[in-house]
A and B are shown apart, each in its own frame.
Chain A
C-alpha cells in the first residue's frame, strides 16, 4: 500500500466520511455524552482506542476467521478491548468513568466499531486498517467535542469547566437536557449538508 492512499484512508474519517455526520452511525453516545467537552473527548478517545485495536486484530486475522462466524469473532474482539478500556479508565480516570457511566460498556454495541470491522478491516491490510481506525476515531472525537462545546457553552455558560460569559449570563438549560442534544445534532447535520454541497 502506497503512502498517499494511507493518508487518504486517514483523512477520509476527518471530513469526507466523518462520523456521526456523514456516516450516521453511533448516535447514542453522540447524544448522551456531549453535555460537556470533557466527557465528549473522553468518549471519543475511548472509542478511538477500541476502534484502532479491533481494526488491527480483525485485519490481521481476516484470513483465519471463517466467514460464517465472523460477526461472533468480531464481537469477542471488540468486547475484549472495551473491557480493557473500562478497567483502565476506572484505574486512571475514575471521575470521568463515573460521568460516562454505562456508555463505556455500550461501546460494544456502537455501530461504528462493528461497522468498520465488517466494512473495512475485514477486507484490507493492517496498515490501512490502522489509518482507517485512527481517522474514524479522531473524526468522531472532533465531532463530539464540537457538539460538546456548543452544548456546554450555551447550556452551562462554561467551556471545559471555565466560565465563558460573565456572571450575568443566564444558562440556556435546554441545551444540556435531552431535547437540546437532538436539536443541536440535527442543526449541525444540516449545516454539514450545506457545507458539503458542491
Chain B
C-alpha cells in the first residue's frame, strides 16, 4: 500500500513540476516564437510588398478585433509616414485555401503589392501564382474599393497561364478582404499613426 502511494506521489509531483516548467518556458518564449514564425513564413511576402519602407514591418504590427476573428496588420513607413499596411486574407484555390498578403496604401486605398504566403496548388501551374511577376505585378495600383477580377472576367489582372481557378481565387480573396478593410479602416488609420517616425 505504501508503495502505491509513493508511486502516485512521485509521479504526480514530477508531472506538476514538468507542467510548471513548461508553462514558464512557453510564456517566456511565446512572443519570440510568434515573431520568428511571422518573419520566416509571412516575412518574405511582407518584405516584398512593403519594399523600400524604413521600418521593420514585422515588429511594427498591431491586431484588431473584427467580430470573432483577430486580424494582424503590418505597417510600412515610407518617407517617415506610416501610410501603408499589409494584411493577410484567404482565397479559395484549386487545392484548398490560398493565403494572400495584400499591401494597401491608406491614403489612396490602392493596392501596392501582393504575395502568396501559403497554398497547396499544383506545382508548375497554380503554384506559380507565388512567383509569377506579371501576375503579381498586375495587382499594383488597383483600387481596393472596386472588385478585383482577372481579364477574362472583365478585370485588370493577368491570370497565371493554365491556372485560372487559382487566379480567380486570389482575386476573390482580395475582393472579399476589401470588406473588412473598409469596416476597420478608421481603426487601422488610428493605430498606424502610432508608428510614425
Q: A88-B29, A92-B36 are in contact. List 5 more A-B contacts (CB 8 A).
A: A65-B10, A69-B7, A80-B21, A83-B22, A90-B37
How large, as a class, is the contact surface on chain B?
10 to 19
**Bound form: Cα–Cα A77–B22 in Å:** 11
Q: Which 9 A-B residue pairings sit nearest by Cβ, starting from the closest?
A: A94-B36, A91-B32, A80-B18, A91-B29, A90-B33, A66-B7, A69-B7, A87-B29, A91-B33
19 A-B pairs within 8 Å (CB atoms) are namely: A66-B3, A66-B6, A69-B7, A69-B11, A73-B10, A76-B18, A77-B14, A80-B21, A80-B22, A84-B25, A87-B33, A88-B29, A90-B29, A90-B37, A91-B32, A91-B36, A94-B33, A94-B37, A95-B40
The winner among A68, A87, A91 for most chain B CB atoms within 10 A is A91
Determine whether A72 belongs to the interface, using a CB cutoff of 8 Å to chain B: yes
Measured between beta carbons, the chain B residues less than 8 angstroms from A65 are: 10
**Bound form: Cα–Cα A98–B36 in Å:** 11
**Bound form: Cα–Cα A95–B14 in Å:** 32
Measured between beta carbons, the chain A residues less than 8 angstroms from B182 are: none
What's the dominant secondary structure at chain B's contact region? helix
The number of residue pairs between A and B whose CB atoms lie closer than 8 Å in the complex comes to 54
What is the distance, in angstroms, from A129's C-beta to the closest C-beta of chain B?
17
Q: Chain B: residues with CB nearer than 8 A to chain A? A: 3, 6-7, 10-11, 14-15, 18, 21-22, 25-26, 29, 32-33, 36-37, 39-40
- Asked whether A68 lies within 8 Å of B18 as measured between CB atoms, the reply is no
Measured between beta carbons, the chain A residues less than 8 angstroms from B33 are: 87, 90-91, 94
Determine whether A64 belongs to the interface, using a CB cutoff of 8 Å to chain B: yes
What's the dominant secondary structure at chain A's contact region? helix
Measured between beta carbons, the chain A residues less than 8 angstroms from B29 are: 87-88, 90-91
Measured between beta carbons, the chain B residues less than 8 angstroms from A69 are: 7, 10-11
What is the distance, in angstroms, from A56's C-beta to the closest C-beta of chain B?
14
Q: A87-B33, A92-B32 are in contact. Are A73 and B40 (CB under 8 A)?
A: no
Closest B residue to A94 by beta carbon equals: B36
Q: A76-B15, A88-B29, A92-B32 are in contact. Are A66 and B10 (CB under 8 A)?
A: yes
Partner of B25, one of A79, A88, A95, A98: A88
Q: A68-B3, A91-B32 are in contact. Are A84 and B21 (CB under 8 A)?
A: yes
- Asked whether A77 lies within 8 Å of B18 as measured between CB atoms, the reply is yes
Q: When each residue 122-151 of chain A gets 1 if its CB lies under 8 Å from chain B and 0 otherwise, what string results?
A: 000000000000000000000000000000
Closest A residue to B24 by beta carbon equals: A84
Measured between beta carbons, the chain B residues less than 8 angstroms from A87 are: 22, 25-26, 29, 33
Measured between beta carbons, the chain A residues less than 8 angstroms from B26 are: 87
Measured between beta carbons, the chain A residues less than 8 angstroms from B36 are: 90-92, 94
**Bound form: Cα–Cα A73–B16 in Å:** 12
